[in-house]
Structure 1
Amino acid sequence: MKAQSLLLLCVCALLVACGGVDPNSPQGQRQTLFKQMLKTSEDLGGMLRGRLPFNEQRFAQGAQQLDELSRKPWQHFPQLAESERSSAKPEVWQEQARFQQLARELEAATATLRTASTQKPLAAAAMAPLVQRVEDSCEACHKAFRAY
Structure 2
Amino acid sequence: MNKTLLSALLTLLLLLTACGTDKNSPVYLRKQQFKEMLRTRESLQGMLNGRLSYDPDTFLKTAQALENQSAQPWQWFHEMQVADDSKAKQDIWQEAQAFRAAQDELTKSLQALTVAAQTKPKDKSQLTPTLKGVEQACASCHSRFKVE
Per the alignment, in what secondary structure is the counterpart of residue 117 of structure 1? Answer: helix
2:66 corresponds in structure 1 to 66
1:10 deviation in Å? Answer: 4.6
> Which residue pairs with 2:41 in the alignment?
41
Q: Is the 8 A contact 1:21 1:27 kept in 2?
A: no
The residue matched to 1:81 in structure 2 has which SS? coil
Match of 2:147 in 1: 147
The aligned residue for residue 78 of structure 1 is 78
| Aligned AA (1:63) | A
Cα gap change, 1:83 to 1:39, in 2 (>3 Å): closer
Q: 1:89: which partner in 2?
A: 89
- What are the superposed Cα offsets for residues 106-139 of structure 1, whole Å, 9 maximum, x if unpaired? 0110111112211134431111000000001111
- Deviation of 1:82 (Å): 3.8
TM-score by length of 1: 0.86
Alpha-carbon distance in structure 1 between the residues aligned to 2:76 and 2:25: 8
Question: Whole-Å Cα distance in 2 between the matches of residues 86 and 28 of structure 1?
Answer: 8
Question: Aligned partners of 1:97 and 1:19: how far apart in 2?
Answer: 36
Distance 1:135 1:127 in 2: 13
Q: How many residues get paired?
A: 147
Gaps of 5+ in 1: none
- Contact 1:113–1:130 (CA under 8 A) maintained in structure 2: yes
Quote how far apart the aligned CAs of 1:8 are: 7.2
Counterpart contact for 1:81–1:93, Cα < 8 Å: no
Q: Which structure 2 segments of 5+ residues have no match?
A: none
Q: State the Cα distance separating 1:21 from its structure 2 match.
A: 2.9
The two structures, once aligned, show a CA RMSD in angstroms of: 2.4
SS of 2:35 mapped into structure 1? helix
Identity of aligned residues (%): 36
8 A contact 1:112–1:130 mirrored in 2: yes
Structure 2 equivalent of residue 123 of structure 1: 123
TM-score (norm 2): 0.86
